[in-house]
Amino acid sequence: MALSEVLVDELRDMYSAENQLVKALPKLAEGANSEELKSLFTLHLDETKGQVERLKQVFEILGEKPTGEHCNGMEGVIEEGADALEKDEEGASFDAGLLGAALRTEHYEIAGYTASIAMAKVLGLSDVAELLTENLNEEVTAAKKILEAAHSILKESASEPEGEKKPKSGKEKYSAKKSKEDEKKAASDVKRRAS
């Protein structure tokens, strides 16, 4: 597979990721307790729509269609955000869960854009790299803003009294089971490395 084909696949993945976020960000904004977090999600929704448009421009430059790949990675990260929205937490502790999901989302996008920009540069596609860099810069800025908001939310969450332990939902039990399976599968490799 030629590098140009790898780039197109990566860009289709990013296009899918951004379109999935266009649907997910309003739910996060609606679910957040913190007005600052609600505002950040709403502002980033507008940026994300602009990023979709820039990606369309990139595909026009490349003479390719933007569709054809579904971003399973972003689907998983968005699912984590949906899980955070379903948690039976209150106040700042609830928003702390949303912060983690939001940061994972931003860092996933940062990685995708960084890889795409490197490929575009190697292929001499400076106009493509320039458009992708605009998207990357917005993602980096969004991550910084989330971290800034995190300080006050996490401080407030830390001062909240511990709640009563609630029974795990079916989804949480399944996740805990999968986590143990993952640990068990990796244990021999981890042990071997420690030796």
pLDDT at 103 over 70: yes
Place of tokens 């790299």: 129
Confidence (pLDDT) at 45: 96
DSSP one-letter code for 1: -
Closest to 71 (Cα-Cα) out of 24, 138, 15, 8: 15
pLDDT in tens, 16-68: 999 999 999 999 999 998 899 999 999 999 999 999 999 999 999 999 999 98
Tokens linked to 159: 């001062």
User: Could you tell me which residue, 65 or 191, shows the higher pLDDT?
Assistant: 65
* Predicted TM-score (pTM) of this structure: 0.84
Residue 157 to residues 46, 103, 182, 187, Cα–Cα distance (Å): 28, 17, 30, 33
Q: pLDDT grade, residue 176 (50/70/90)?
A: low
Confidence (pLDDT) at 190: 75
> What is the distance between the alpha carbons of residues 130 and 11, in angstroms, rounded to a whole number?
14
All residues at 6 or more sequence positions from 116 whose CB lies less than 8 Å from its CB, including other chains: 7, 10, 11, 14, 132
pLDDT in tens, 74-84: 999 999 888 88
Poorest-pLDDT segment among 21-25, 63-67, 94-98, 143-147: 94-98
> What is the distance between the alpha carbons of residues 14 and 122, in angstroms, rounded to a whole number?
19
